[in-house]
Amino acid sequence: MIYGIGTDIVQVSRIAQALARHGVRFAEKILGPDELVEFHERSAKNPVRGMRYLATRFSAKEAFSKAIGLGLREPMTWPAAQTLNLDSGQPVLACSGALAAFMRQNGLSAQVTISDEAEYGVAFVIVTQEVQ
């Protein structure tokens, strides 16, 4: 059964401005450990790709926080909800810590899709709950 849905769109330039203002600390606040590695690798190859990566992950976390109905309150934290990619390229949400426990305790699972264009990053999340 559908537990919640969430969507978010973000201007890539807004994320670029935040990164310029706060430096890499901004990315470290938003991204989980695996995402941060990918962000640095993409940024080193092509700064525009790195910025779009950061924007889509920001958007995915916002959409996910809406779908689980918590917003950005415990146990939902920026780094606890990572959007990673399978070898096929499919994005998946990977939760850790208290957020992973919250998902298990409530029988929740999430599906995410992300996309970006030159100016925008967008994400859509569906959270489902196991029917007992």
CATH code: domain of residue 88: 3.90.470.20
Averaged confidence pLDDT in the chain: 96
Strand pairing partners for 6?
A: 125
7-20: average pLDDT: 96
27-44: average pLDDT: 97
Give the three-class secondary structure for 113.
strand
| Sheet strands side by side (includes 2-11) | 2-11, 120-129, 108-116
- pLDDT beyond 90 at 132: no
Residues 6+ apart with CB under 8 A from 122: 7, 8, 9, 10, 56, 59, 114, 115, 116
- pLDDT beyond 90 at 131: no
Q: How confident is the model at residue 127 (pLDDT cuts 50, 70, 90)?
A: very high
Q: What is the pLDDT of residue 31?
A: 98
2-21: average pLDDT: 97
Number of domains present in the structure of the chain = 1
Q: Which residues span the domain enclosing 21?
A: 2-129
